[in-house]
Structure 1
Amino acid sequence: MTAADVLLSRQTEIGRITIEPVDVDRDGDVLHAWVTHPRSVFWGMQHASSQDVWDAYAAIVADPHHDAWLGRVDGTPAFLAETYDPEHSELAGRYDWRLGDIGMHVLVAPTDRPRSGFTSAVFRTVMELCLDDPRRQRVVVEPDVRNDRIAALNAAAGFEILGQVALSDKVAALSICTREAFEASALAGGRRGTAVAADHLTDEPMRRAHHLLVAKAIGEFAHERLIDPRPLGADHELVSPDGRSHYVFHAHRYDLDHWVVGPWTIRRTVDGEAAEVDALAFVAEHAEALGIPDELLPTYLEEISSTLAGSAWKHVHSTVTSRDLVGADFQAVEAAMTEGHPAFVANNGRIGFSLTDYEAYAPETGSRFALVWVAARRGLAHLSLGEGMREDSFYADELDAATRRRFAARLRERGLDPSDYLMIPVHPWQWEHKIAITFAADLGRGDLVLLGHGDDEYQAQQSIRTYFNTSRRERHYVKTALSIQNMGFMRGLSPRYMRATPAINDWVAGLVDSDDELGATGFGVLRERAAIGYTGDAYHRLGTPSAYTKMLAALWRESPEQRLAGEERLATMASLLHRDRDGASYAVALIRASGLDPHAWVRRYLRAYVRPVVHCLHRYELAFMPHGENLIMVLDGHVPTRVLMKDIGEEVAVMGDLELPANVERIRADVPAEVKALSVLTDVFDGFLRFLAAILAEDGLMSTDDFWSLVAATIREHQADHPELAEAFERIDLFAPEFAHSCLNRLQLRDTRQMVNLADQADSLLFAGTLVNPIARFRP
């Protein structure tokens, strides 16, 4: 390569990138190795011979409408790019061609040593090559519709998908990016563009976010009886405690004192003058009534601010409709969720994330990232494995051989023996902001050693510290400590607490698998098969639990992908409460797509969800935390046919005298009978079903009377099928006229520093009188 050969040169965050024409004689062997590599499957030349590759690129070089380019990073060949005139390609006549269009392909050289930001820097430079000529106004790409990685890059670069087009070798997602869209894109600004990262923080998206959040705040705070809106003709009125602010709005009220407040009906006046609806002002005006301590009010307002920002971002960027989601992939549905926890008002705090972090790691962005791996000295860490598992085979299943060799080499470079260490996955944010700083002494001693990024890419789930492996979908979820504050508390993981997690999961799974009733409903649990934590730091030596003792730990949970058969699909149960940007319900879209009568659809859903949870309660006095994010639905023909429960280790309790192994005894909770019933009445009825019932009623599919009659029928059918449990049905009465009203927001409002478990729910802080049981009127 000479200076005259270089067409474009850029200094980037990964080094100097240069682009030059392909020389087939010089580059043929390199290109052959790249295009036939297993990771280059979408390039379409997996089985090409060296001569095939030579002939193909010789033809491209000779074609006046097609060019091939070799990219180098600091002089080393690193990527291949092609540009072409779409009017002289398979796309001719397949889309609205314009003068100034240029087609593009890019292939980054496969590697066993991935570098953070490498692909983004290459892609950005190739886009700059395409648009270097001012006559070029639009870049056209046609990636395989299955290529999720390039789809994410295209989105970051500003491409808009026009639709699918069938080409000779693939079904392609035809996409176009204008010069203006690229210049405004996240990719064009470097790692992520500052301007585009903040494009949601403008008048219209933020105004919408304020209205949505104040509507939710009114509804949930009224539900928890912290505020008391009064009827005002056909509307309702709420007056701030100081009498200055008045809110008038339209609302519907349903069973369980559930409020649905129309966001766009809210009108606010201050001292008699019209004023903007403002979520921060609403909280501040009602802080005393909400019971927020003065010293914690700024923290809660920060969580409200972050929730507003997240809502505005979703409004700008989350354009997938509920109808689109009906046939969507599991992870596409996961990323499309826009609401967060249905009851918590400040439900997207993410305090600690920057704008850049938000785009890189927030679940709703659908971003993919590699985990950082750290080696921990074996005597200072503990790896717990589930029944039948071995350490060597476990790591071999989770990390490719090349990755394990690379990590072992890092240790040997330090003069360390790899057999003396265990490997711990760490969230990239956690490494940068916590481990590299808070555990600097441990790293200096070699008790901890940075190994580098893994090769697999992951996508954050709604729980934010759990990640789905998008590179190898059969591999485990990974859940790690993440020291940000979200939804009221720090998202750490305790190494000592998690030691028993695999054993607890094995015991619960064994119980579930041996029960004929649960087998008939298809109910299953996703076991947490392994857990690891480091305890060799100064913070553990203090002997006092704190946020610092929950910073370096992880667990692995089974993937639900291996549980599917035939045409079955997966979706988080939280999706049933999702409304898209235009207000359309995903649950309603599923019901309509199924072809079933709404009542038949709901009956099948309740049999899959409510019946097994009720059975576990009455047969074993076993309680889960069965809210929407903790359940994965298995859909067949757009109908939930069975559910898979997760988060077993942290959120399961045995409330009776069922015999437990010694290492599982931790999950026993000594609670009165009325609290046992709350595991369904609160966590299922009030925590999830009241929201779904209101959605179906609001959209005209089913009255709430009909909905709750179906819930009651599901429980009655279970009771009729199990007369041997009559004593348990009477003692833990799910048809009781009313039940204690447990209030989640009260907990977060009054102390953002802790959460509470089932055994602590008798604390009066959580309760606000009682709720009328919506199925009591259907008692057998």
Structure 2
Amino acid sequence: MQITFRPVDPARDAPLVHTWLTDPRARYWEMTDHSPEQTLDYLRAIADDPRQDGWIGSLESADQPGTGADVVYLETYDPAILIPSHVLRTRAGDLGMHVLVGPPAGERRHGFTAEIMAAVMRFCFTERRAERVVVEPDVRNDRILAKNAAVGFRVLRELDLTVDGHSKRAALSVCTREDFAASPLGGGSGEHAEDPHAHLRPDVADAVHRHLLAKAISEFSHERILAPVDLEDGWWELAEPTEAGASYRFRARVLPLEHWLVDEDSIVRIETPQDPVASNGTSTGGTSTDGTPADGTSAGGGARPAHGRLDVLEFVAAFQSVLGIPDDLLSTYLEELASTFAAACAKLQDAREGRRPTARQLLDADLQQIESAMTEGHPGFLAGNGRIGYALSDYRAYAPEQGRRTRLQWIAVRRELSHLSLGEGCDLEEHLAGALSAEERAAFADRLRERGLDPSDYHLMPLHPWQADHRLPLTFAADVARQDLVPLGAGGDEFQAQQSLRTFFDLSRSGAPYVKTALAIQNMGFLRGLSPHYMRDTPAINDWVHGVVTGDPEFAAQGFSVLRERAALGYTGDVYHRTPATNPHRKMLAALWRENPLPLLGEGERAMTMAALLHRDHEGTALATQMIRASGLSPEEWLDDYLSAYLQPLVHALLGHDLVFMPHGENLILRVREQRVVGAFMKDIGEETAVLGHRELPERIARIRAVVPGDEKALSVFTDIFDGVLRHLSGILEADGVLPAEVFWQRVAGALDAYEARHPELARGLAGDVDLRTAEFAHSCLNRLQLRNTLQMVDIGNQAESLLYAGTMPNPVARTADVPEAEPALPVA
């Protein structure tokens, strides 16, 4: 049914509207006793008032457009005409609405009024450009109240109104575009309708289950938790640990560092055997595309299998005992995995519909475009996007891959109950000038004065919008009530969330610092808070590290520098800081500010997160492969440049200074020129930096010292760089036919040789106890940590002793080819 609306013509339309208004069913309009002349005067008054409009809706004839019957009278108006400002605070885009459906002509049509109501709402949101429709029907009008509910109206309150001399008890109600789109009559209709679950559909889910299952098999086998059986010819089998359990068959190659390159498309789940299928009594041999030989037997012999659906959550549940997940944490881990699955579905659906860039398009993208284009999360963790605490609306608003603009919320925190730490050469005025615009500072100061408070008594702290909504008014209600915390509202600058979830990039002011905020959601093994106590020394740690890096010409020669965290602010006036034991609530109100890399770029350079080198788009195209091909370099030359910018500086930090970082993909910003990596910025210094030897340190930052033996020092390279980053990059280049894995690791060995040639005195570190060319090293496993305790993977205060190992791993850059057999995997604790 198509209904069109035209402006009311009082002279032409008064007779028809009069018959409708005087019908007993229109009694709530209070005009059943009107004469034709009074109706005409009424319509003229509406037409003459610039704040009101009258409309006639006509039912279009399918074969004769423009000749349909008039079926509805509609009024749209400025709600402020009828509703007092103290009752409803109107806003831009508000539109009042009255509707009168004409009595049916001829036989009654079921659902006719509902269709008219839906058409009226579409007209209000499209033609009248409303953002919110406001109505005030008589509370006794049950029929219109029901229809209002069906199109998405929400009753705010009841109130007494007087309209044209008639008083009524009205049900003040509003309906937004989103309300209408989600309503029974509006869902799926109109240009503004959007199904929030559109990404959770079978074809998308099947692809994501397959991808995550391939990752589960690959990473759990890499960590020697799972032990697939070699069926020869590149086929492997993995059986569930029960007598009647299913098994999984797949193609895979095992590269150096036991990196499992699993062919996603080959994975099949085998449930129950069936009778062999005969084909003229002969066997043709070969293997079918689904992983079963073409002669009717399975890849390992026997009857043709029945293939079941792939479901990564069911896979984890079936392998729980082997994975070592405690019973009391299984559901939590599955929830994090389900969230990872849902996010992956959303990203894939967006990509298929053209809302995400391809790898080729990222060749010319800027830093923030690349940040929001990342889809995988951590390359090693299976449940890498848990984000427990986020609703779907939060995911849409704040997930890094959404690339949305948002404004941070600000609070004033009483100075005597908080601590602001500033880096060397940074005073309060410089900090505030970077953290806030002049307009924001003035507005926040005015808001404090309006409450009778002195702005000089407070520091200004940004909050993640989620934190401001979920934690500030509840967890810290008492602090707000006594004005130790004063909510100030949203700032003016627009920010974009970064991959770390709680860090934001300022899009409004060029060169403004990153802002890192506390966020009390559970994600990948931790509650993502920030400790005010821990952060007191953050700027001092950054200054010391910055001094080490800038004072050593080796770092400059490789284009390596750090992004300093110049300021840190934490609130400690709450009751949670006075409890006997430490708790997550002490980490919910804090922030820090980090240098922006863009002003530090050289001529012709662009910045990109190093995580992008491990990115594949929804078509399977790898960004690293595209960069190599576009650079004009050979793969070996391109890799050498990257290793000079990434590996060699970090090796020098270890061997020359006993200094280690957390060098995963999200913690480095690469400097790229003409698709070549020419340098790198290291970030997240305060939380993830350590000195592993006895070198002299300022007393204030002594907490970053952790003296360990040489083989543990070397793990900062073996685990964090070789296993955590280079293993995955090597797999991508091998799979794409760009560079064989053996050649890749030869270039890595060459990079170590080049460093040793420049610094022979540091080849084994300051204490002479570090050997990066040893035959083997301890195989530290990340997923084992999360599987053991998904709520807190490690003790932040004693990370080294929290680690889990699975024997030793052959070193792909060992000096000798006689690498010993790997030690057997250790049982999961």
Q: Please give the range of the TM-score, normalised by the shorter of the 2 chains.
A: 0.7 to 0.9
Report the counterpart of residue 20 of structure 2 in structure 1. none
Inter-partner Cα distance in structure 2 for 1:765 and 1:403: 45
Paired residue for 1:699, among 726, 736, 745? 736
Structural mapping, 1:102-141, within 5 Å: 128-129=127-128
Q: Residues 418 and 131 from structure 1, CA distance in 2 versus in 1: closer, same or farther, beyond 3 angstroms? A: closer
Report the counterpart of residue 554 of structure 2 in structure 1. 517
User: Please, which moves more after superposition, 193-202 or 254-263?
Assistant: 193-202
Paired residue for 1:731, among 769, 774, 779? 769
CA contact 1:735–1:779 (8 Å) conserved in 2: no
Q: Residues 607 and 390 from structure 1, CA distance in 2 versus in 1: closer, same or farther, beyond 3 angstroms? A: same
Report the counterpart of residue 199 of structure 2 in structure 1. 200
Report the counterpart of residue 435 of structure 2 in structure 1. 398
Report the counterpart of residue 290 of structure 1 in structure 2. 323
Shift of 1:8: 10
Inter-partner Cα distance in structure 2 for 1:460 and 1:125: 34
Q: What is the number of equivalent residue pairs in this alignment? A: 627
* Residues 1:389 and 2:388 are matched in the alignment: no
Structural mapping, 1:405-420, within 5 Å: 405-420=442-457
Report the counterpart of residue 707 of structure 2 in structure 1. 670
CA contact 2:187–2:193 (8 Å) conserved in 1: no
Shift of 1:723: 2.1
Report the counterpart of residue 155 of structure 1 in structure 2. none
Paired residue for 1:661, among 698, 707, 713? 698
Q: Which string of whole-angstrom CA distances, capped at 9 and with x for unpartnered residues, describes residues 97-127 of structure 1?
A: xxxxxxxxxxxxxxxxxxxxxxxxxxx9885
Inter-partner Cα distance in structure 2 for 1:296 and 1:127: 49
Paired residue for 1:309, among 342, 348, 352? 342
Which structure has the larger Rg over C-alpha atoms? 2
Report the counterpart of residue 531 of structure 2 in structure 1. 494
CA contact 1:502–1:530 (8 Å) conserved in 2: yes
Q: In the alignment, residue 240 of structure 1 is paired with which amino acid?
A: E
Q: Residues 777 and 288 from structure 1, CA distance in 2 versus in 1: closer, same or farther, beyond 3 angstroms? A: same
Inter-partner Cα distance in structure 2 for 1:227 and 1:376: 50
Shift of 1:197: 2.2
Report the counterpart of residue 789 of structure 2 in structure 1. 751
Structural mapping, 1:709-724, within 5 Å: 709-724=746-761
Paired residue for 2:603, among 566, 580, 586? 566
Shift of 1:409: 1.6
Report the counterpart of residue 120 of structure 1 in structure 2. none
CA contact 1:197–1:359 (8 Å) conserved in 2: no
Shift of 1:397: 2.4
Shift of 1:489: 1.4
Q: SS in structure 2 opposite 1:556?
A: strand
Q: Residues 8 and 333 from structure 1, CA distance in 2 versus in 1: closer, same or farther, beyond 3 angstroms? A: farther
* Residues 1:770 and 2:808 are matched in the alignment: yes
Q: In the alignment, residue 774 of structure 2 is paired with which amino acid?
A: A
* Residues 1:241 and 2:279 are matched in the alignment: no
Q: In the alignment, residue 544 of structure 1 is paired with which amino acid?
A: A
Q: In the alignment, residue 762 of structure 2 is paired with which amino acid?
A: L
Task: Give TM-score scaled by structure 1 length.
Answer: 0.77
Consecutive unaligned residues in structure 1, runs of 5 or more: 10-15, 20-72, 80-123, 133-178
Q: SS in structure 2 opposite 1:416?
A: coil
* Residues 1:300 and 2:333 are matched in the alignment: yes
Report the counterpart of residue 779 of structure 2 in structure 1. 741
Inter-partner Cα distance in structure 2 for 1:432 and 1:304: 25
Q: Residues 705 and 18 from structure 1, CA distance in 2 versus in 1: closer, same or farther, beyond 3 angstroms? A: farther
Q: SS in structure 2 opposite 1:508?
A: helix
Q: SS in structure 1 opposite 2:646?
A: helix
Inter-partner Cα distance in structure 2 for 1:246 and 1:8: 68
Report the counterpart of residue 230 of structure 2 in structure 1. 231
Inter-partner Cα distance in structure 2 for 1:684 and 1:128: 57
Inter-partner Cα distance in structure 1 for 2:386 and 2:401: 14
Inter-partner Cα distance in structure 2 for 1:581 and 1:459: 23
Inter-partner Cα distance in structure 1 for 2:90 and 2:379: 53
CA contact 2:372–2:403 (8 Å) conserved in 1: yes
Report the counterpart of residue 463 of structure 1 in structure 2. 500
CA contact 2:360–2:623 (8 Å) conserved in 1: yes
User: Please, which moves more after superposition, 264-273 or 498-507?
Assistant: 264-273
Inter-partner Cα distance in structure 2 for 1:199 and 1:233: 41
Report the counterpart of residue 257 of structure 1 in structure 2. 258
CA contact 1:669–1:758 (8 Å) conserved in 2: no
Structural mapping, 1:141-160, within 5 Å: none
Report the counterpart of residue 175 of structure 1 in structure 2. none
Inter-partner Cα distance in structure 2 for 1:188 and 1:631: 44
Q: SS in structure 1 opposite 2:677?
A: strand
Shift of 1:271: 4.0
CA contact 1:310–1:348 (8 Å) conserved in 2: yes
CA contact 1:371–1:425 (8 Å) conserved in 2: yes
Q: Which string of whole-angstrom CA distances, capped at 9 and with x for unpartnered residues, describes residues 515-545 of structure 1?
A: 0111111100000110011100010011421
Q: In the alignment, residue 375 of structure 2 is paired with which amino acid?
A: T
Q: In the alignment, residue 691 of structure 1 is paired with which amino acid?
A: H
CA contact 2:517–2:590 (8 Å) conserved in 1: yes
Q: Residues 8 and 688 from structure 1, CA distance in 2 versus in 1: closer, same or farther, beyond 3 angstroms? A: farther
User: Please, which moves more after superposition, 468-477 or 605-614?
Assistant: 468-477
Report the counterpart of residue 87 of structure 1 in structure 2. none
CA contact 1:495–1:553 (8 Å) conserved in 2: yes
Shift of 1:727: 4.8
Task: Give TM-score scaled by structure 2 length.
Answer: 0.72
Where is the helix percentage greater, Structure 1 or Structure 2? Answer: 1
Report the counterpart of residue 217 of structure 1 in structure 2. 216
Q: Residues 706 and 392 from structure 1, CA distance in 2 versus in 1: closer, same or farther, beyond 3 angstroms? A: same
Paired residue for 1:430, among 467, 477, 489? 467
Inter-partner Cα distance in structure 2 for 1:18 and 1:716: 76
Q: In the alignment, residue 239 of structure 1 is paired with which amino acid?
A: A
CA contact 1:500–1:664 (8 Å) conserved in 2: yes
Shift of 1:472: 1.5
Report the counterpart of residue 640 of structure 1 in structure 2. 677
Q: SS in structure 1 opposite 2:527?
A: strand
Q: SS in structure 2 opposite 1:482?
A: coil
Inter-partner Cα distance in structure 1 for 2:181 and 2:473: 34
Q: Residues 534 and 131 from structure 1, CA distance in 2 versus in 1: closer, same or farther, beyond 3 angstroms? A: closer
Q: SS in structure 2 opposite 1:670?
A: coil
Q: In the alignment, residue 328 of structure 2 is paired with which amino acid?
A: E
Q: In the alignment, residue 748 of structure 1 is paired with which amino acid?
A: Q
Q: In the alignment, residue 640 of structure 1 is paired with which amino acid?
A: V
CA contact 1:671–1:759 (8 Å) conserved in 2: no
Inter-partner Cα distance in structure 1 for 2:799 and 2:582: 22
Inter-partner Cα distance in structure 1 for 2:568 and 2:130: 49
* Residues 1:339 and 2:407 are matched in the alignment: no
Q: SS in structure 2 opposite 1:397?
A: helix
Q: Residues 762 and 610 from structure 1, CA distance in 2 versus in 1: closer, same or farther, beyond 3 angstroms? A: same
CA contact 2:53–2:77 (8 Å) conserved in 1: no
Q: Residues 480 and 441 from structure 1, CA distance in 2 versus in 1: closer, same or farther, beyond 3 angstroms? A: same
CA contact 1:742–1:766 (8 Å) conserved in 2: yes
Q: In the alignment, residue 252 of structure 1 is paired with which amino acid?
A: R
Shift of 1:261: 1.2
Report the counterpart of residue 57 of structure 1 in structure 2. none
Q: In the alignment, residue 738 of structure 1 is paired with which amino acid?
A: E
Report the counterpart of residue 348 of structure 1 in structure 2. 385
Inter-partner Cα distance in structure 2 for 1:637 and 1:759: 42
Q: Residues 779 and 733 from structure 1, CA distance in 2 versus in 1: closer, same or farther, beyond 3 angstroms? A: farther
CA RMSD of aligned residues (A): 2.9
Consecutive unaligned residues in structure 2, runs of 5 or more: 1-45, 56-75, 80-87, 95-122, 132-176, 274-305, 819-829
Q: Residues 18 and 704 from structure 1, CA distance in 2 versus in 1: closer, same or farther, beyond 3 angstroms? A: farther
CA contact 1:198–1:355 (8 Å) conserved in 2: no
Q: Which string of whole-angstrom CA distances, capped at 9 and with x for unpartnered residues, describes residues 277-305 of structure 1?
A: 01111000100110100000000000010
Shift of 1:756: 2.9
Inter-partner Cα distance in structure 2 for 1:188 and 1:658: 66
Q: In the alignment, residue 677 of structure 1 is paired with which amino acid?
A: A
